[in-house]
Amino acid sequence: MRKSIIFTAFAGTSLLISACGSPASNTAMNANSNRSNMAMNSNMNSMQSNSNMASDNPMVGGAPMLKTRDIIDNAVNSKDHTTLVAAVKAAGLVDTLKGPGPFTVFAPTNAAFEKLPAGTVDTLLKPENKKTLTGILTYHVVSGRQDAASIKKAIEEGTGKATFKTVAGGTLTASLEGGNVILTDEKGGKSTVTIADVMQSNGVIHVVDTVLMPK
């Protein structure tokens, strides 16, 4: 009878150990679980960090636009703005747009320049046409940092339209169409802001799909 009781006690202990695992096994499982959770948290933090970086530094022309860089240093990295950069260099505006500003630049893409009549860009890039080129480029620049929110607010306060004076001395008229900011130049031409609020250390860039022309 005593042997039977002892056997039963050992058998119960054996079943309990089998069900719960040995102390060493439990320790290993807990360690693995902790490592797995740490790895998962690390990956999530990394993904969140990358997401924040992407939102802080939007991609334009296949390159991140770093808000710690100035307008020129960012523009030269955009493959969609090689014509604009060449024009800025030809007009001698590099030092100006690397200055403290702040500036708001409506930046036409290469495709925007291609909409101009054939040969127009080549003609403008000639040294004898520097004054005309400078006038066109500075017509795309407004003093101060005008982000999308401030432009839309000005449009609302102007009952549908807002006028901005450019560095060239002319004016641009902004309006909203289907939620997009539309810029109308002095000749009646229209350009749509396709990428807004590309922040720079010395201002902000808004990418536009058409070259704006002064009178």
Dist. CA 22–CA 195, nearest whole Å: 61
* pLDDT at site 208: 97
* pLDDT at site 42: 42
Across 29-43, 72-86, 171-185, least confident range: 29-43
For CA atoms 119, 122, 127, 129, give the dihedral sign.
positive
Q: Considering the chain, what is the average pLDDT of its residues?
A: 81
pLDDT of 73 strictly over 50:
yes
pLDDT of 47 strictly over 70:
no
* pLDDT at site 55: 52
Mean pLDDT for 10-39 is 45
Across 73-77, 105-109, 128-132, least confident range: 73-77
Dist. CA 149–CA 133, nearest whole Å: 30
Whole-model pTM over 0.75:
no
Read off the pLDDT of residues 149-203 as tens digits, 9 standing for 90 and up: 999 999 999 999 999 999 999 999 999 998 899 999 999 999 999 999 999 999 9
* pLDDT at site 16: 35
* pLDDT at site 31: 47
